[in-house]
Structures are given as structure tokens and as C-alpha cells.
Structure 1
Amino acid sequence: MKHCCIKYWLWGMMLLAIAVSCARDKVLNSVLEQAGKNKGELENVLVHYDSVPEKRKAAEFLIKNMPGRYSLQSPFLFRYYELLDSLQGLDYIGHDEMIVFYDSIYKRPEWRSLKPVYDIESITSQYLIAHIDAAFDAWKSPWAKDLTFEEFCDYLLPYREDNEVLESWMKDYKAKYENIAYSVGFTSIDSVYDVIANMFVGHRYFTPEFVPSAKPSSLPKIRIGACRMYTALATYLFRSIGVPIVSEFTPNWSNHAMRHEWTTIIVKGKNYPIQLGDKGPLGYHIKGFTYRPPKIYRTTFGSHKALIEGETDVPPLFKDKRVIDVTHEYLPTTVIDLPKSFKEYGNYCYAYLSVFDLMNWKPVAFGRRKGKTIQFQNMGLNAVYLPVFYKMGTYYPAYHPVRVDKEGDYLFLKPNKEKLRKVILRRKFMDKSPKQWADAMVGGYFVFSKEALFADGDTLRIDSLHEYAYQTVEIKGLYRYMKYVPPAFTKGNIAEIEVYDKLGIKVQGKVIGNYTPGWLDRMVTMRRAFDGDALTFTSAGPEQEDAWLGLDFGKQVEVNKLVYLPRSDDNFIKEGELYELFYWDKEWRSLGQQTGSRQLQYLEYDNVPDNALLLLRNVTKGKEERIFTYEDGKQIWW
């Protein structure tokens, strides 16, 4: 009896294996049929590896996952690549040059002629065979030789990164970088990363989403570009020399605008997030940031189960079969239970947690209904999330915002309109960068003098700063010259300097000084401290020990007041501009408008509901704004 059971069990397993094999062949055959006239090229690859089972299996993996992959092509695209290569070849590129360059391209009608050319209809057997052979050679490296076949397919084998034109990048990058990597030996991936990372300079410029990916051959010359360009560069480079690497992203920072993507080196089961061009040790990227990712996802070449399987009316991210959730591999996380929801939106099976991005909420995670609650797994800490429902492209608030602290405890921000309180507001956007710029001024000083050598002048030292807005100092005396001296070996950044006489009239003069900014004309950069624009700023060379700048009034003036502004993001309360405060209660509800003044540099509201999520908007101008709570007399940014 026992032998019969074993026999039937073996037959069952064989039938199951045959069924699985047939299902796999069905997927492969379907793709081959989709290839149309290019079917023969794909079949040639499979025939080529008939006697090499593992390479045949790799070829099947690439072909099965080829649908939807494409390059953008048009006659104009190649001219774009020429212009981009020319610009990146300059000794120095700044953001100003990039803005002019990209703006000149985006306005051209040729963009409308870009068309996708799908890989299954165009890729050649010669290209695929050469790439597969090169990938298998890379698998022999000391950093990849222990990978399983499945890991090899995910970390080394893919032949493209995005929608770039296809080039033999595996061979070309290996020829350029393998000897450099191997020169430091096989013992330490840290050493390999350090020697390669120091070859690249990274300056970020956020190109629009519709810009096509750069050619692999162009990327080693990159000096400034979007994070996805550096992601592609690292992917090509490290895979070519046998270092396992993957692409990852967060859909949106929890405490800042925009999404971000990067690459992660995976060696011996450990993740090392990197971004070529960033200064920092291996694995520092993301982990060393003040920007906080609420969720982290990995993009793969192969298809998996979608995050939400079997549903059609869900946001695109959650039905993408090439995205997997790896948040728990990086961050301490918590589980959030949505205990109830607003009744008017019905009984949804799924809900989503969104984070604030400038003026909108962006979904970053999904939750499934579990009994009477909806549960969200692996959520990043220290964030405010808005639960939302989704239906046919529209989001609806599902419940009150949820505030998660650094320990993972959470509470819902349901505004208590029966308990009002007073708040004092100094900014409409978080103060991380302004604080750094202001703190860098501490230790600097101003000197007012009657003579040009400043030998017998009056000195005003900067020991601390009040907030990060305009600083006002009373000074009385008869002077002709003024200078600002930043702390030695800093960049000397300062946005504005204003001097007023005894009648309250702003004193004009000739700009003087010795700032050496590195690439801009010296006088151009120094004049920015006196142009009345809070967003422009001076910048001395970072190694300049004796930097200073100032004014020659042309004659002796009876000075009464000095006003100066550290390098600024222009998000403090400003004179004459109109502000409006909102709190969230299923939507943003106004608490009234006020006009800012330079004398106070803050706004005061006494009608704010307790336990409310707040947003301060500059009605006059600007787009940067950030949600906050008001705790212990301070704005706490989220």
C-alpha cells in the first residue's frame, strides 16, 4: 500500500513538472509570436545555446521578459545626443547652462516625433548572444561567483536599464573599467567602489520625465544630470565588471518633494546603496540622508507578482509586475492599522498611504482590508501619511492623517475644532538648508571703517543668528567702508547686505572685495549680496582663507543700521507678502490670510484647532511649502 502511494506521488510530481514546463513554454511561445518578423532572430539565440542549458535558460529569461521594453528613436534624437555629449564635455557646467540647454530642446517640435521601437521586434540575435556571453563572463568575478542563477538574472544579466538606445555597453565598459577595479585587488568591494567613485563628479539637475535616457556610451562623461542618469551609469559600469547591482527608488520622500532613485550593490547578501558622483563611503547613500524614504522599492527586469495582484483599478505603481517592496531591508518599520474610514466613500478592499509633495499628496504604499481594519505593512517611521482610496484615477481621503514617530508609535491627526490655540509661524517650508547656511556664518564678522585698509574700524562679530531670516544690527558711526569677512575656509555664502543711514535711507556704493568663486566672474558674484534678491547669493571658493566683500560708499556716511541675510531659500515670512494658513479636515480649510512684515518676521494665529495638520501658503508668490504640526511652541516639519 505504501509503495502504491509513493508511485502515485511520483507520477503526480512528474505531471506537475510537465504542466509547469508547458506553462513556461507557453509564455515563451507567446513572446516569440509577438515578435512578428523578428521571431527568427530570437529563435536563433535559443538554437545557439541548445547545447549550453544554463545559457539557454538565461536567453529564455531575457526573451520572456522582453515585452514592453523599447528604445526611443527619431532623427532628432541623435542630434540631441550630440548636443548632450558636447555640453557634458565642457570643463565646467552649472545649472544655468543646463537650464538654457534643456529649455532650448524642450520647445522644439521634434520631441513629438519620438517613437518607441520595441525590442522584441528589433533586437538582433548577434546583440543578445554577445551580451549573454559577456554577462556569464562577469558572473565569474570574485564578487558575483557565489550568486545563484536567479540572483544572476536579477543582478547581472539584464541587457538594458531604461529606454536607452541599445549599445554593446557590457563589452565597452568592461574594457574601460575592469583593470581599474582589479588594480585594488579582489579582497574589498569598498576599495573597488572608492577608486571608481572618485572618477566621477555629480551635480544634480532634475530633467523632466519625458526626456529619453542617455546613451550608455555618453554616461562616463556626465557632469550634471538627473539621478536616473547616475543610476544607469552605475548599473552599466558595475555589471560589466561583475559587481551585482540593482536599481531602487522611493516614490516620494516623506519629508520633502519628489521621488528619488539610486543603485544598490549587493555583495554577500548585504545591500550597499550608492549614487556615483556623491561623496561618501560605500553604502552611505540613503542611509546618510536627512531626506526620509517612506517606502523603498526595487525594479527588476523579470516579472513577479504585482504588489496588488488580480485588480485593475489600482494606481500604476501597485500593479507593476517589475516592482518589489524592499523597505524592510533598509529601514526600521511599523504596521499601521486604519481602524475605520469615512463612511461616504464605501467599503474598499484596498487603501493607500500618501505623503505630501509640494501641493499634492502622492501614494507610496497600499494596505489590505483585514477584518474591520485596513493594514499597511512595513511603513517607514517619522512621517505623516494621509490614508486615501482610489477609484478610476481619482483619490479620496479615507481617514484623518496619521503621524508616525521615530519609535513607530502613531496617532491620527483629527483636528479638535472645540479646542483652539495660538501659534506663531516663522516659515512656510522646512529650515534644514537655511539652518546649515546660517550656522556656517557664525564666526564671521563685519567691519565698518573710515579708511580703505580697515585698520581702525568697528567690528561686529556674528556669534549667533536669530532664526534664518533678515538679521538687524544697530550701529552708529561715521564710515565710508564696510566689509563682510566669512569664517576661513567656508564658501562665504551670504544673500543680502544692506546698510542704512540715520534717515533710514539705504546706502549705495561700489562693490569691493576679493571673492574668488571658481567659475563666475568675481564682481558678478559679489554684486549678488547687494541686488535685493533673497534667492541670489555670493559664494567664495571653498578653499579661500582670506575671502571678504563689501562696499565703498564714496564718502563718509552717518550709518545707523546694518541688515543682512544668510544664504536663503526665500521661505521665511517676508514684508508685504500675503500668507494663508490651512488645516486638514478631509481637505485643506483656511484659517485666514495675513500680510508679513520685516519688523516682526512672524505670523500669529489664535484660531488653530488642536491636533491639526497645518500648511502655510504664500499667496503672493512661490511654490515651496511643507506640512507641519505645532508642538511645544515650534513648527515641526513633516
Structure 2
Amino acid sequence: MIRIVFVLVIVFLLCNCTSYSPELTEALVLSGENRKELLHVLEHYEHDEDTLKYKAACFLIENMRWHKSYKKIEYVDPKISKLYEKFDYLYTKILGGFDEIEALDGNQLLRERLYNYTQVLHDLMKITPLDTNVVVSHGVFEDVNEINASFLISHIDNAFKVWRESKYAKHLNFDAFCEYILPYRSFWGTTYYYSGAWLNKQFGKQIWRGNTPDFLGHLKRCNHYANRMLFFSYPFKLKERIGIYDLFLGTKNDCALLADNFCNIFRSCGFPVTVDYTIAYKAYNSRHFYCNFLDSTGMWWRFNPGSNMLSKTSPVGHTSLNLYRNMFAAQKDSPYFLKAKTEKIPGELASPCIKDVTAEQCEIVELILPFTSETKNNLAYLCTFSGDFKSGVIAVTWGTIDKKNKQVVFKSALHNTLYVPMYMKNGHLCPFGQPFYVLKDSLGKSGYRLCHLCDEANVEDTGDLLLTRKFPLKSHLMEEIKHMVGGHFEGANHEDFSDAKVLFTITETPKPYWQEYVLNNCREYLYYRYVAPESYPLANIAELEFLVRGDTTHPYTSSATPLPVFKEEDISSLQNDHWVQVMEKDISSMRNKVYFDKNIMTTSWRRLNPICLAKPFLVERIRMIPRNADNGIRPGDRYLLLYWDNEWKEFGVQKAKYNFLKFENVPQNKIYWLQNIDRGSEDLPFIYEDGRQKFIYDSVIVDNNVQIR
């Protein structure tokens, strides 16, 4: 508190003896020992004939206080930059004479040349491993204390140069320039190291190569360059992420890193680009960052870095929740500024520079909810399920509390979305209402109606739950399985299958779990295989077993996978299973094939190679499971059942014996959540009605635009 008062006093005194704005003065005070660097920038541009440069410097310095990094790059081994320079020279030389954009993917000679050089580089890097040194400090590093004058001046000069020269930036007014070209970082919390001037020097010659007619062409050039440079450097990888070099030497380029680097690169070359993101999806525990390009008509074009696709719609589709844009300037309508003085904000919404842009992509609804809780807070939140968080919920949008009318107004709610209304209490999210979703209602006064999922009238009831899945079946996998109709299994004694005989043809869509086919076979064969339909020549088989009788004399066998049991009365059927899986002589080699590796998550998309037995043998049955997300109940795995009662409460853990779980005396009329605590990450809440599970975004909240994928 004393520090805050001291800062305010200093700001007041400085404002009265300088021409600086209060925001700029406060930034200078907060900069501490780095103040002289920032003052040098202001003095450098104060009398510049281009008065906008001074305004731009003020814009950056005023808003630096809102930005920070969680890593600081102290040192990068010069060998890394020299390696990059060699690769860059090689790439530029190889592309000599191939300046047309169509040549990047369509020219056979160019592809061969790139491939040959890449193989030579890989061989050289394997025999001459690099010993590079990167020093990175971890902590919280405020931009206002870190950025020096030379960095900022070179960056500002480059930004103005490309603003004036680039045909993609000339139409921008000063305010748009400040947000979409000028910033040295693309979003809050990332690590910066190189100025726009350096980035332009390194990437500009590649992005602007040849006669490229539109932004999509420049995107293709950038992607081609980054991808080939990455292939050149393989198998060398950096142990620490250090910014732009991660594109070429990184350990793993996730969407945030790619979006950050691509945005900074394009801005440095005169393309107005931003980074948007979603912090949650309706059905998945994930987030996603992507880029946007602003054209001269004011239209935003979205793209995933690494992809050569531009679209007016968001890459995250209709399954995402609220979308946010990373701005450089502080956004006064963000939770950071709307909160009360001592109010805590959920971390995912804590940035002072986020702007809700959901309305650009989705139909939103202004939602008014009653609020009777006693609090000094100004904000409440709509939260949704997230298995990534210990609490099991994540705040996805905010609303302002109207204490006079005892209500909360949410301006950016979405239809067909599971919400829990919550506010922060003692540093944690606390509910002030029951879970619900919003349905359109054209006849209602507000245009919507709320559908609650918990029946409070019967909170004392208990009952049994018979559970067979932790996540619903995926629509695209079910469509893939349909294409297996017409596929068949063959036996042969010649390796080329010239004497093949069809033993079974799939005539009905396979089930999304283990199943058995009885073959029309009375002969012994040395080779067996599956052949996909000609109309859709992909196998789509996750696991495959060729079965013989349990009393076989064949020397190479393995236990057959039991057929699934989904209810208690079918348990006895397991006692009649007297079949074993026949194997190749080299069992370990056979296990290396994805359809024999005992891993349902690995799938053969291509035609399956045949199984070759040690000697001809009579195979009478086949067990198979098609391409699968493995979200059913797995015998041997442990499962945790939770239910929602103002928070996620644990009911109990069971180890599955079969393909179902039976939990007894469970509180009824709740939302449930089943976790596999041994493997997997996909799970989704459900309700239990009519003796079966009904997953939230599959059988409860039905939105034709949302498919479980």
C-alpha cells in the first residue's frame, strides 16, 4: 500500500513539471533504473520531423507496464545464429530461379533439390553434433524494466518504414497501425528477443520474394521457408525455447509459439496481423491460438500458422467458447480494470489487454441473471467444464454485478453452452446458481430461455449408475467406420495372393468396439489379410486378431482379446471363450505393426500388410476393433466418479473388471464426470436418465453446428 501511494505521489509531481501524460509518467516511474533508456527513446523522437513517431513511442511506453515475460533470454550461443545463416543461404540458393509461387509445391526439380540437400545436412549434423549454449532465466520480467533504447528505436523505425511502403499496411490509420504493426510482442506473457528491424531483415527477403499477388501467397512463402528450414536442422533441437529460432530448432512448436512468431514476423514486414485465441472448447480440454490478417477492406482473414488456408471464419470452429484478441494497449472493459480494488480475477482472464471478439464469429446473447450473494466484487463469471483445471471449471466470460438490482449482466454469452454462474470468493470460484444452458426462444421477451440441468427437488435421492463410457462416440470416427462396409478378409498360400479366397465380407457397419466375425473357411492358409473397399481404400482398423481354437497345435499363439461385456448378465459369456490369437513366428516384429501392437489408439489407415504364419493353418474367426478413440471402459483401469454439487465432489473409485462400471447409491439428478485415472485425457460431463448416460454435448445440448470430433 505504501508503495502504491509513493508511486502516485511521484506521478503527481512529475505530471506537474513535465508535458508527459499521466499514463506515460507512471510508466516512467515504474521503469526504475531502466527509465533513462525509455527517456532516451522519447528524446530521440521528440523533435523528429515525423511527429507520429513520437506518438508511437509514447503509445508503446505507456502500455509497456501491462506486459511481461516469464522467461528472459540472457544469452544465445552465436553458433545458433551462424547455423541459421548457413541454412538461410542454402535455402535462398536452392530457390534461385523458382520465384513463382506455384513452384513451391508443384515443381518436381525443386522438390528433389530440397530433398537431396536436406539428406546431406542430416548426415552432417549426425556426425558433427552441435554443443550450443542458451541461458534463460525464469521469473517475471516487466517490459518496462527490460526494454532498452536501441531495441525500441530500431523497432519503431522499421514499423514506420513498412507502414509507408507495404501495400498491405498503407490503408491503416494511426490507431490501427499502433495495434497491428507497431507492437514488438504479439501477446501478453511471451518472450521477445529480436526487434522488428531484425525480423524484417531475416524474413522480408523470403516473404516478398518474386511476384506474389496476395497475402495468401506471402503466407505460403513464409510457411515454405519455415518448414524447409526446420527440415534442414533435423535432428538438432534446442533444449530451451528462445523465440524466433524455435521455428527452426525448437523442441515442439505448439500453437501459441507458432502464432506468436508468425505474427511478429508478418508485422515486421508490413502486414497487419493479430493473435486471437480461445481458452476453452465446449467438449475438449484444450485451448488454441491462431492469427488474423486485416485486409484493405477491413475484413479479417484467419489462419493457422503452418497452414496455407485463409478463412473468414475462425480455425477453432463452432466448438470453441469465447474468442479473445491480444491487444497491446490496455482494454478498459477487461476484467483487470472492471474489478474492485481487492478483487481477484481468474488467471485465464487476468490480462489487461484482452478484447472479447466473440461477436465477430458467433451469435452472442446478453444474459441477465439474478445475483443475491453478498460481495464487494464488481464481476461475476460464466464458467464451463474443464478437466484441465483442478477445480474442473474454467471462467470463459465475465459480467458486471448490478448490486442495486441484484443481477449480473453478461454481454457475450453463447447459446447451447453448459454454464455455471460463479464469482470469486476467498480467491476461488464460487457458484451463485445452478448449471444451465441458453436456448433461443423467439417467443420469449428476452429472446432466450434458460434450461437448468440439476433437479433441486430430489437432492436426497440416491440410485445406481451403469456406465460404459467417459466420452461420447465421435461423429467423424463413426463416419469412417461406415466406409468399411464392403471390405473383406482373404486367405492365400501364395505371397502375392494370386490364389486368394474371400473368407468374409463386411456387410454392416462395424461397432465401435471389439467384435468377432466367423469366417467361411475350411482350408489352411499361410497368409491372411484385410482388404479395404476400392471406393474407400483405407483400412481404419485399430487392432486385428486372427483366431484359432484354443486346443491348437500351432507353436505361435497369444491370448485373444475378450469380447466386450456391457452388463452383468453377459459376464457368463466370457466362460465360453476358447479361442486364441495365431501369431507370426517373429512375434516381436509382428507387435511393431500398428494393428497388432495392443494399442487401440494406433490405427492403420492404409491397406493392411498380410500376416504370414509359420505354416499353413486354419483360421476360423477374426476379432477386430475399428479406428477408435478408446473412450469406453477398459478392464483393468481405475475410474473416478464425480458429481456436481456447487463444486465437483468425488463419489468413489472403481477398478473395471469388464466394459462397464456399476456405482451404487449415487446422489441422483446431478451432473456427473467420469475420469480414467490411469490413461487418457478425454472426458465429458453427463446426466443419467432412463438408465443410460447422456453426455452434455451429445444427447443433452444438441447443436447441429457442434460435432464431437
TM-score normalised to structure 1 length: 0.76
CA distance in 2, matches of 1:34, 1:580: 49
Task: Specify which of 330, 355, 358 is matched with residue 387 of structure 2.
Answer: 358
**In 2, Cα distance between equivalents of 1:301 and 1:472:** 59
Mean Cα deviation higher: 255-264 or 487-496:
487-496
Summarize the Cα distance change of 1:568–1:351 in structure 2 as closer, same or farther, 3 Å threshold: same
Residue 305 of structure 1 deviates from its aligned partner by: 1.3
Partner of 1:167: 194
Aligned partner of 1:277 in structure 2 is 306
In the other structure, the counterpart of 2:415 is 381
Aligned pair in 2 of structure 1 residues 27, 580: CA closer, same or farther (>3 Å)? closer
Alignment match of 1:500 (pick from 547, 560, 582): 547
Give secondary structure in 1 for the equivalent of 2:593: helix
What's the secondary structure of 1:114's corresponding residue?
strand
| 2:376 is aligned with 1:302 | no
Which digits, 9 at most, give the CA deviation of each residue in 1:576-608, with x for residues without a partner? Answer: 54556554332446787777576xx55678988
TM-score by length of 2: 0.69
Counterpart check, 1:431 vs 2:473: yes
Give the residue type in structure 1 aligned to 2:344. Answer: V
- Write out aligned runs for 1:438-453 (5 A): 438-439=481-482, 441-449=484-492, 452-453=495-496
Q: 1:464: Cα distance to partner?
A: 4.4
SS of the aligned residue for 1:62 comes to helix
* Deviation larger for 450-459 or 359-368: 450-459
Q: Which amino acid aligns with 1:367?
A: G
1:568 shift after superposition: 2.7
Contact 2:422 2:430 (8 Å CA) reproduced: yes
Q: 1:42 to 1:525 in 2, by over 3 A?
A: farther
Provide the rounded CA distance (Å) in 2 between the counterparts of 1:406 and 1:444. Answer: 44
Tell me which residue corresponds to 1:399: 433
1:461 aligns with 2:505: yes
- Tell me, in whole angstroms, the C-alpha distance in 2 between the residues paired with 1:444 and 1:170: 58
Aligned to 2:103: none
Q: How does 1:331-342 map to 2 (within 5 A)?
A: 331-339=362-370
Tell me which residue corresponds to 2:530: 484
**What corresponds to 2:71 in structure 1?**
72
Instruction: Look up the equivalent residue of 1:554 and give its one-letter code.
Output: A
Instruction: Name which of 174, 182, 189 aligns with 1:149.
Output: 174
How far apart, CA to CA, are the structure 1 residues paired with 2:19 and 2:351?
Answer: 21
Question: CA-to-partner distance for each residue in 1:208-232, whole Å, 9 max, x for gaps?
Answer: xxx9753224436769511111112
CA distance in 2, matches of 1:403, 1:486: 43
Distance across 1 between alignment mates of 2:142 and 2:652: 54
CA distance in 1, matches of 2:592, 2:681: 27
1:441–1:487 CA contact under 8 A, matched in 2: yes
* Equivalent position to 2:57, from 56, 59, 74: 59
Cα distance in 2 for residues equivalent to 1:167 and 1:150 = 24
Distance 2:687 2:280 in 1: 20
| 1:296 partner letter | L
Match runs of 1:92-131 below 5 Å: 113-114=137-138, 118-131=142-155
Equivalents in 1 of 2:667, 2:140: separation in Å?
52
What letter is aligned with 1:510? E
CA distance in 1, matches of 2:693, 2:483: 23
| Deviation (angstroms), 1:494 | 2.8
Q: How far did 1:468 drift?
A: 1.9
Match of 2:583 in 1: 509
Q: Match for 2:289: what amino acid?
A: E
Partner of 1:470: 514
Do the aligned residues in 2 keep the contact of 1:582 with 1:616 (CA within 8 Å)? yes
The AA in structure 2 aligned to 1:237 is I
1:338: how far off?
2.6
Residue number among 39, 50, 53 corresponding to 1:43 in the alignment:
39
Percent of aligned positions with the same letter in both sequences?
Answer: 25
Closer/same/farther in 2, CA of residues 64 and 578 from structure 1, 3 Å limit? closer
Q: Please report the RMSD computed on the Cα atoms of aligned residues, expressed in angstroms.
A: 4.3
* CA-CA distance at 1:149 after TM superposition: 1.0
Note the C-alpha offset of 1:302: 1.6
User: Is the 8 Å Cα contact of residues 203 and 265 (structure 2) preserved in structure 1?
Assistant: no
Tell me the CA shift for residue 135 of structure 1.
0.5
Q: Residue 333 and residue 27 in structure 1: after superposition, are their counterparts in 2 closer, same or farther (change >3 A)?
A: closer
Tell me, yes or no, if the aligned pair for 1:134 and 1:171 is still in contact at 8 Å.
Answer: no
What CA deviation, in whole Å up to 9, does each residue of 1:139-164 have, x standing for no partner?
A: 12222212121111110001133543
Return the alpha-carbon distance in structure 2 between the equivalents of residues 212 and 330 of structure 1. 36
Post-superposition CA distance 1:149-205 (Å, at most 9, x none): 11111100011335434223444335534564474555x4444445544555599xx
Deviation per residue, 1:60-104 (Å, 9 max, x gap)? 111122234457346687599799989x999999xxxxxxxxxxx
Looking at structure 1, the residues matched to 182 and 194 of structure 2 have their Cα atoms a distance apart, in angstroms, of 15
Counterpart residue type for residue 471 of structure 2: F
Q: Hey, what does 1:624 align to over in structure 2? A: 682
Please list, as runs of the form range in 1=range in 2, the aligned pairs for 1:230-249 lying within 5 A after superposition: 230-249=258-277
Q: Which residue of 1 aligns with 2:575?
A: none
In 2, Cα distance between equivalents of 1:525 and 1:406? 52
In 2, the alpha carbon distance for the partners of 1:346 and 1:118 equals 32
Give 2:599's aligned residue.
533
Aligned length: 575
Contact 2:220–2:308 at 8 Å: present in 1 too? no
Residue 469 and residue 73 in structure 1: after superposition, are their counterparts in 2 closer, same or farther (change >3 A)? same
Shift of 1:295: 0.8
Q: Which residue of 1 aligns with 2:561?
A: none
The answer for unaligned runs of 5 or more in structure 1 is: 1-18, 94-109, 204-210, 513-521, 541-546
Residues 402, 412 of structure 1: 8 Å contact kept: yes
Distance 1:565 1:173, change over 3 A: farther
Which residue of 2 is the match for residue 132 of structure 1?
Answer: 156
Change in 2 beyond 3 A, CA 1:46/1:347: closer
Select between 309-318 and 269-278 the one with higher mean Cα deviation: 309-318
Aligned-residue offset at 1:335: 2.7
**What's the counterpart of residue 27 of structure 2?**
31
What is the match of residue 453 of structure 2?
413
Tell me the CA shift for residue 245 of structure 1.
Answer: 1.0
- Aligned match for 1:635, one of 666, 689, 694: 694
Give the partner amino acid of 1:564. Answer: M
CA contact 2:339–2:377 (8 Å) conserved in 1: no
Stretch of structure 1 that moved more, 44-53 or 601-610: 601-610
Provide, for residues 343-374 of structure 1, a one-character-per-residue CA deviation record: whole Å limited to 9, x for no partner.
7x779653211121226111111222342332
Of 308, 315, 318, 1:286 maps to 315
Deviation at 1:36, TM superposition (A): 3.9
User: Who is 1:519 aligned against?
Assistant: none
Letter in 2 for 1:320: S
- Note the alpha carbon deviations across 1:111-149, whole angstroms, 9 max, x for none: 995355554444332322221111112212222212121
Corresponding residue for residue 15 of structure 1: none
Q: Distance in 2 between matches of 1:198 and 1:21?
A: 54
Call closer, same or farther: CA 1:252–1:112 in 2, change over 3 Å.
same
Residue type at the aligned position of 2:369:
L
